[in-house]
Amino acid sequence: MTTMNISLPDSLKAFVDQQVSERGFGTSSEYVRELIRREQDRQHLRGLLLAGAASDAAAPADEAYFAALRQRVHRATGATAHPRRRS
């Protein structure tokens, strides 16, 4: 693992220390790694959303679509079909 040193003003260091103690992180490094992972996930999701928005329109996701999807899932998992409950 590579080491990186960062400089923080006292107010940010106090915030990081508070987050570490309140959220159960062992060290400030664990907290910062978690923040970086979340940002990576956010950027990945943003990319997927932008790609989806730029793609051609697909068939509508109507009741028939979801019924077929449920059937595929049940076949793949070996689950028995449950009737859909309606409120």
The alpha carbon torsion through 27, 30, 36, 38 (nearest 10 deg) reads -120
pLDDT tens digits along 41-86: 999 999 999 999 999 988 889 999 999 999 999 999 987 656 566 5
Tell me which residue range forms the domain holding 69. 10-77
DSSP 69-83: HHHHHHHHHTPPP-P
Phi first, then psi, for residue 76 (nearest 5°) are -70, -35
Q: Count other C-beta atoms under 10 Å from residue 69's C-beta.
A: 11
58: tokens are 């697909």
pLDDT of res. 59: 84
Question: For the whole model, what pTM was predicted?
Answer: 0.65
What is the count of structural domains for the chain?
Answer: 1
Instruction: Indicate whether 49 belongs to any domain.
Output: yes
Which of 7 and 57 is assigned the larger pLDDT? 7
Q: What distance lies between CA 44 and its chain's CA centroid?
A: 9
pLDDT above 60 for 36: yes
Assigned domain for 1 exists: no
Question: Could you give the CA distance from residue 34 to residue 13 in angstroms, rounded to a whole number?
Answer: 16
Confidence of residue 7 (pLDDT cuts 50, 70, 90): very high
Give pLDDT, residue 29.
97
Give the pLDDT score at 83: 59
- Looking at the domain assignment, is residue 83 inside a domain? no
Position 34 scores a pLDDT of: 98
